[in-house]
Amino acid sequence: MIKDVKITVCYHCGETSETENIHIREKVFCCQGCKTVYEIINKVELCEYYNINENPGINQKTKIRPEKFAFLDDEKVQEKLIHFKDENQSHITFYLPQMHCSSCIWLLENLGKLNNRIVRSQVNFLKKEVSVIYDHKYISLRKITELLTDIGYEPHFSLNSISEKKVNTYDKSRIYKIGITGFCFANIMMLSFPDYFSLGNIEESGLQQLFSYLCLGLSLPVFFYGASEFFISAWKSIKQHFLNIDTPIALAIVITFVRSVYEIISGNGAGYLDSMSGIVFFMLIGRFFQNKTYNTLTFNRDYTSYFPLGVTIITENAIEKQISVSDLKMGHRIKIHHEEIIPADCILFLGKAKIDYSFVSGEALPVEKRIGEIVYAGGKQTGGSLELEVIKEVSQSYLTQLWNDEAFTKDEEKNTSYIHTLSKYFTLILFTIATITATYWYFNDTRHLWNAVTSILIVACPCALLLSATFTNGNMLRILQKFGFYARNAEVIEQLSNANEIIFDKTGTITQQQEAFVFYEGKPLDPSTEQYIRSLVNQSSHPLSKAITNYLPERKILSVKYFNELKGFGIRGVIDNKDISLGSNAFVNHLCSDTIYGSRVYVKVNDEIMGCFKIQSQYRPGLKTVLSQLQKKYRLSLLSGDNDSERKNLAVLFNGDLLFDQTPQQKLNHVQKLQQQGKKVIMVGDGLNDAGSLKQSNVGIAITDNINNFSPACDVIMEGKSFYNFVLLLDYSKKTKIIINISFVLSILYNIIGLYFAVQGQLQPVIAAILMPVSSISIVLLTTGLSSIVSYKLRINSLKSSGNPNTDINHIGY
- Asked if the model's pLDDT at residue 81 lies above 80, the reply is yes
How far, in Å, are 221, 464, 690, 801 from residue 179 at the CA level? 11, 21, 42, 42
- Asked if the model's pLDDT at residue 394 lies above 90, the reply is no
Return d(Cα 140, Cα 134) in angstroms, integer: 9
Highest mean pLDDT among 82-91, 238-247, 705-714 belongs to 82-91
CATH number of domain containing 363: 2.70.150.10
CATH number of domain containing 636: 3.40.50.1000
Highest mean pLDDT among 371-380, 557-566, 579-588, 605-614 belongs to 605-614
Q: What is the pLDDT of residue 305?
A: 59
Question: Do residues 283 and 177 both lie within one domain?
Answer: yes
Residue 305 per-residue DSSP state? G
Return d(Cα 794, Cα 727) in angstroms, integer: 11
Question: Do residues 367 and 313 both lie within one domain?
Answer: yes
- Asked if the model's pLDDT at residue 682 lies above 90, the reply is yes
Residue 146 lies in a domain: yes
pLDDT in tens, 453-473: 777 776 766 666 666 777 777
Q: What is the pLDDT of residue 401?
A: 60
pTM confidence score: 0.62
Q: What is the pLDDT of residue 504?
A: 93
Read off the pLDDT of each residue in 650-671 and give the average, rounded to a whole number: 86
Q: What is the pLDDT of residue 5?
A: 46
Residue 123 lies in a domain: yes
pLDDT in tens, 305-321: 567 777 888 888 888 88
Question: Do residues 13 and 100 both lie within one domain?
Answer: no
Q: Which of 96, 126, 157 is the last residue before a domain boundary?
A: 157
Question: Do residues 494 and 638 both lie within one domain?
Answer: yes
Read off the pLDDT of each residue in 96-112 and give the average, rounded to a whole number: 85
Lowest mean pLDDT among 208-217, 357-366, 563-572: 357-366
Angle between helices 246-266 and 273-290 (to 10 degrees): 150
- The DSSP line for 522-554 is ESPPPHHHHHHHHHHHTT---HHHHHHHHHSPP
Question: Do residues 353 and 228 both lie within one domain?
Answer: no
Question: Do residues 276 and 312 both lie within one domain?
Answer: no
Q: What is the pLDDT of residue 809?
A: 46
106-132 residues labelled b (16+ CB within 10 A) or e (exposed)? bbbebbbebeeebeebebeeebbbbeb
Cα four-point dihedral sign 669, 674, 678, 684: negative
- Asked if the model's pLDDT at residue 1 lies above 50, the reply is no
Q: Which residue has the higher pLDDT, 424 or 336?
A: 336
Residue 325 per-residue DSSP state? G
Residue 569 lies in a domain: yes
Residue 693 — pLDDT band, cuts 50, 70, 90? confident
Read off the pLDDT of each residue in 127-151 and give the average, rounded to a whole number: 89
Query: Could you give phi then psi for residue 581, rounded to 5 degrees?
Result: -130, 140
- Asked if the model's pLDDT at residue 373 lies above 80, the reply is yes
Instruction: List, in sequence order, every residue forming a beta bridge with 389; answer none if it has no partner.
Output: 333, 347
Residue 472 lies in a domain: no
Residue 164 lies in a domain: no
- Asked if the model's pLDDT at residue 165 lies above 50, the reply is no
- Asked if the model's pLDDT at residue 222 lies above 90, the reply is yes
Q: What is the pLDDT of residue 595?
A: 37
DSSP H or E stretch at residue 649:
helix 647-651
Q: Which residue has the higher pLDDT, 508 or 4?
A: 508
Read off the pLDDT of each residue in 224-247 and give the average, rounded to a whole number: 82
pLDDT in tens, 760-784: 777 665 565 566 667 767 777 787 7
Q: Which residue has the higher pLDDT, 366 or 99?
A: 99
CATH number of domain containing 137: 3.30.70.100
Mean pLDDT estimate for the chain:
78
- Asked if the model's pLDDT at residue 749 lies above 90, the reply is no
- Asked if the model's pLDDT at residue 167 lies above 50, the reply is no
DSSP H or E stretch at residue 579:
strand 578-583
Q: What is the pLDDT of residue 808?
A: 46
- Asked if the model's pLDDT at residue 657 lies above 80, the reply is yes
Beta strands of 197-345 (E only): which ranges? 310-314, 320-324, 333-336
Domain span at residue 669 reads 480-512+620-734
Return d(Cα 400, Cα 404) in angstroms, integer: 6
Q: Which of 600, 616, 632 is the last residue before a domain boundary?
A: 616
- Asked if the model's pLDDT at residue 474 lies above 70, the reply is yes
Question: Do residues 118 and 36 both lie within one domain?
Answer: no
CATH number of domain containing 567: 3.40.1110.10
Question: Do residues 490 and 374 both lie within one domain?
Answer: no
Read off the pLDDT of each residue in 234-246 and give the average, rounded to a whole number: 77
- Asked if the model's pLDDT at residue 166 lies above 50, the reply is no
Task: Please tell me the total count of domains within the chain.
Answer: 6
Question: Do residues 85 and 47 both lie within one domain?
Answer: no
Residue 349 lies in a domain: yes
Question: Do residues 133 and 282 both lie within one domain?
Answer: no
- Asked if the model's pLDDT at residue 301 lies above 60, the reply is no
- Asked if the model's pLDDT at residue 297 lies above 60, the reply is no
- Asked if the model's pLDDT at residue 186 lies above 80, the reply is yes
Question: Do residues 719 and 700 both lie within one domain?
Answer: yes
Q: β-pairing, 27-28 with 84-85?
A: unpaired
Question: Do residues 188 and 286 both lie within one domain?
Answer: yes
Q: Which residue has the higher pLDDT, 222 or 771?
A: 222
Residue 159 per-residue DSSP state? G
Residue 813 — pLDDT band, cuts 50, 70, 90? very low
Q: What is the pLDDT of residue 20?
A: 64
Residue 792 lies in a domain: no
Return d(Cα 127, Cα 108) in angstroms, integer: 14
pLDDT in tens, 22-35: 888 888 888 888 88
Q: Which of 695, 713, 734 is the last residue before a domain boundary?
A: 734
Residue 383 lies in a domain: yes
Read off the pLDDT of each residue in 570-587 and give the average, rounded to a whole number: 86
- Asked if the model's pLDDT at residue 262 lies above 80, the reply is yes
